[in-house]
Structure 1
Amino acid sequence: MSEPALLRTPLYEEHVRLGARMAPFAGWEMPLQYRGIIEEHMAVRKAAGMFDVSHMGRFEVRGPEAAAGLRRLCTYAVDRLAPGQGHYAFLCNEGGGILDDIYVFRLDRDRFLVVANAANAGKVRRWLEAHLPPGAGLIDRHRSTTMVAVQGPQAVAICSAALALSLGDLPRRGCMETAWAEGTLFASRTGYTGEDGVELVVEAEAGPALWRRLLAAGVVACGLGARDTLRLEAALPLYGQDIDEGVNPFELGLAFAVSLDDGAPFIGREALLRVRERGPQRLLACLRATERGIMRAGYPIYRGQDEVGKVTSGGYSPSLGTSIGMGFLPPPLAQPGTALTVGVRGRPLPVQVVPRPFYRPPRP
């Protein structure tokens, strides 16, 4: 049986025009790099880079029961968000395992935007369809819109000037909608790189014009390779590597995305209460190499001769000039300063547990 054809975003022709190296990702044909991963990475750290993230799922939930319906599914109290606010959250199963990590934005009283991981878009759509109440309608915006993430210390200023918008007025995690190009532009002060920036959503047919306008303003086109190195430096977990249905939010150290104080009976609440009471049995730790060598996902982590975990994400950090990685460890070993080794092709690579994140942008 032949493999299904890869999907293409509305910006596919723009990537080809720029000479991008394309690669499959979560069923989509996506740009891996243009000029090179390190150059694109440093463009984001120093100025502004943009990523086509149209492969990510986008679902609008609307109706009088939208807020209550999403609260029953999300670990965070999204029903307490004011219009124009967003927050990171999880969709969990009854056992507290993570179906997906998502971002939820409240557009107005009875209308929300849910952004899901590309690999889980279909699963999230089915979960929402199965569990939302009758008074909460679901509209799939995945294929009808383009999504671009513009990240870096100059991203907000450049986008504001290029689009004639006051994006600097948006607070972190804030969002807005405005008329643009005979349609609507959604903007949020969010991202997946550890830098300031915005994520923009427009109608699919307006995507190429948005992309070209930002290119003309000096924003560097970046591929998924740089997005991965940037998110790793920021110690942001990736579903399918650091997160799956066998992982719960407390093991990730992301309790800020779990609301238990309001008593809302969301799916997975009872299991997560038990985890909080007894404490997680393992924690996602940040590892920094102290000698030359590159740790990769799947490599074993050792304390002496004993294997104590595996690297879930790893690679080279262009900003730090060394290898970094993450992996689950028993809580006593997940404390900063713990010396461990990672098995790299049969050779022990000395590493140290360090605080999260690996890299913080300098204060302006």
Structure 2
Amino acid sequence: MQESPLKKFHQQHNAQFVEFAGWEMPIRYGSIVEEHRQVRESGGLFDVSHMGRVKVSGRHARRLLEVLCTRKIYDMQDGQCRYTLVCNEQGGVKDDVIVMRHDDDEYTVVVNASNREKLLAHFEQVRTANDFAAKIDDQTAKTAMVALQGPRVMEMIGKFSQEIPTLKRYRFTVKNLLILKVVVSRTGYTGEDGVEVILPTSAVDMALKLLLKDVKMDQPDAAIKPAGLGARDTLRLEAGMPLYGHELGEEIDALSTGLDFAISLDKDQDERGAAFVGQEALKKIRDSGGPARKLVGLTLEDKRTPRQGMVVRQGDREIGIVTSGCMSPTLGHPIAMAFVDRDLAEVGTELGVDTGRATLTAKVAPMPFYKRG
């Protein structure tokens, strides 16, 4: 099992560890609900070093990513991040990733931990098939990655950097930490403002001291406290963000996920663009009337929480399946995501979630469930 470069930090803060995608990672430090609320109300620090970090460089780096990604890469600017999907030939989702453009010949792609090795093989296969002059370098083991998320985070960062708080959403900058380069992006997976930081493993201790300057994390009123993967999951669910293995997967076509903003079915029409892997399959689905099921949000008034795999019904008819669910710490009632038949995906539609022992009344709700103020 791989260990995070921040393991010592986690042990100092009494983390409870779990195995996740071959990594030993902190699930929580105390109460998941308290960590969730800390991020919503002030700030939390997450270790996301298990995420894959892949450098794609060379003369054909952009052209390679154009074929791999569902979204346009050719109109990205230096210093810009872009959320996109990577599909298989059938239009199923291999992963959702963040592409960061350093320049036309150099990009960083952040991928999900469970898909890193699969994607590295896929990237190489597409590179070879197209004879692209590009280098694919897995930098995961050489680097760490942390996320600082919450409404007070930018205020804290402003104490040592004037530039970072001025970054627009989905933009990044490269900062020098003595002789080391640190990449700071205004991105996140919680629905809150904040940053994600990619840094060399050798710079972890130094960077944490800088990021947490004047923060006493063991104090009850600390502006920033450590948060684990448990809170990260409830936060992303409130924010309506999909998770691979739940809302995304190789057997789930990209169009049914509702991520239309991240799918450019016309990207091959521009002379700088190219058809992406899976584009033809998705165009066929679109032209035949669209996917049979759509991803929706569900809200419930019951105290019982829907779980992945529970059947969604209308009366006695099975019309969908739950992909994720939790008791929302912010809203105070259960929420869930589910794929349901497209004619029942309208907001306000009443449905039932079959727990195996009872049927819980649910209503289709708009996502995200939570929007920061």
TM-score (norm: length of structure 1): 0.95
Are residues 1:208 and 2:229 paired? no
Separation in structure 1 between the aligned mates of residue 212 and residue 27 of structure 2, nearest angstrom: 18
Separation in structure 2 between the aligned mates of residue 361 and residue 107 of structure 1, nearest angstrom: 29
Is the partner of 2:257 in helix, strand or coil? Answer: coil
Q: Which amino acid aligns with 1:359?
A: Y
Length, aligned pairs only: 356
**Matched-pair contact (CA < 8 Å) for 2:84–2:263:** yes
Is the partner of 1:68 in helix, strand or coil? Answer: helix
Q: Which residue of 2 aligns with 1:175?
A: 172
Q: Which amino acid aligns with 2:99?
A: V
Q: Which residue of 2 aligns with 1:257?
A: 262
Of 117, 122, 126 in structure 2, the residue corresponding to residue 122 of structure 1 is 117
Provide the aligned C-alpha RMSD in A: 1.3
Are residues 1:287 and 2:284 paired? no
**Matched-pair contact (CA < 8 Å) for 2:99–2:110:** yes
How many Å apart are 1:146 and its aligned residue? 0.7
Q: Which residue of 2 aligns with 1:3?
A: none
Is the partner of 2:3 in helix, strand or coil? Answer: coil
How many Å apart are 1:64 and its aligned residue? 1.2
Q: Which residue of 2 aligns with 1:68?
A: 63
Is the partner of 2:347 in helix, strand or coil? Answer: coil
Separation in structure 2 between the aligned mates of residue 295 and residue 15 of structure 1, nearest angstrom: 31
Q: C-alpha deviations, 1:273-299, integer Å up to 9, x for none?
A: 112222121101101112221111111
Question: What is the percent sequence identity of the aligned residues?
Answer: 41
Of 314, 328, 335 in structure 1, the residue corresponding to residue 339 of structure 2 is 328
Structure 2: segments with no counterpart, 5+ residues: 216-222, 269-273
Q: Which residue of 2 aligns with 1:221?
A: 226
**Matched-pair contact (CA < 8 Å) for 1:107–1:176:** no
**Matched-pair contact (CA < 8 Å) for 1:41–1:227:** yes
Are residues 1:342 and 2:347 paired? no
**Matched-pair contact (CA < 8 Å) for 2:157–2:165:** no
Is the partner of 2:327 in helix, strand or coil? Answer: strand
Separation in structure 2 between the aligned mates of residue 177 and residue 239 of structure 1, nearest angstrom: 28
Q: Which amino acid aligns with 1:276?
A: R
Separation in structure 1 between the aligned mates of residue 56 and residue 115 of structure 2, nearest angstrom: 17
Q: C-alpha deviations, 1:298-349, integer Å up to 9, x for none?
A: 1111111122111110111000001111110011111110111112241111
Of 238, 241, 251 in structure 2, the residue corresponding to residue 236 of structure 1 is 241
Q: Which residue of 2 aligns with 1:298?
A: 309
Is the partner of 1:80 in helix, strand or coil? Answer: coil
Of 68, 76, 83 in structure 1, the residue corresponding to residue 78 of structure 2 is 83
Separation in structure 1 between the aligned mates of residue 342 and residue 283 of structure 2, nearest angstrom: 18
Q: Which amino acid aligns with 1:95?
A: Q
Q: Which amino acid aligns with 2:62?
A: A
Separation in structure 1 between the aligned mates of residue 142 and residue 162 of structure 2, nearest angstrom: 23
Q: Which residue of 1 aligns with 2:271?
A: none
Separation in structure 1 between the aligned mates of residue 19 and residue 267 of structure 2, nearest angstrom: 42
Q: Which residue of 2 aligns with 1:46?
A: 41
**Matched-pair contact (CA < 8 Å) for 1:76–1:89:** yes
Q: Which amino acid aligns with 1:241?
A: H
Structure 1: segments with no counterpart, 5+ residues: 1-5
**Matched-pair contact (CA < 8 Å) for 1:215–1:221:** no
Are residues 1:93 and 2:88 paired? yes
Q: Which residue of 2 aligns with 1:35?
A: 30
Q: C-alpha deviations, 1:93-146, integer Å up to 9, x for none?
A: 111111111110101221100000010011111111221244111111101001
Identify which range, 216-225 or 318-327, moves more after superposition: 216-225
How many Å apart are 1:73 and its aligned residue? 0.9
Q: Which amino acid aligns with 2:279?
A: R
Q: Which amino acid aligns with 1:249?
A: A
Q: 1:188 to 1:222 in 2, by over 3 A?
A: same
Q: Which amino acid aligns with 1:144?
A: K
Q: Which residue of 2 aligns with 1:138?
A: 136
Q: 1:140 to 1:160 in 2, by over 3 A?
A: farther
Q: Which residue of 2 aligns with 1:191?
A: 188
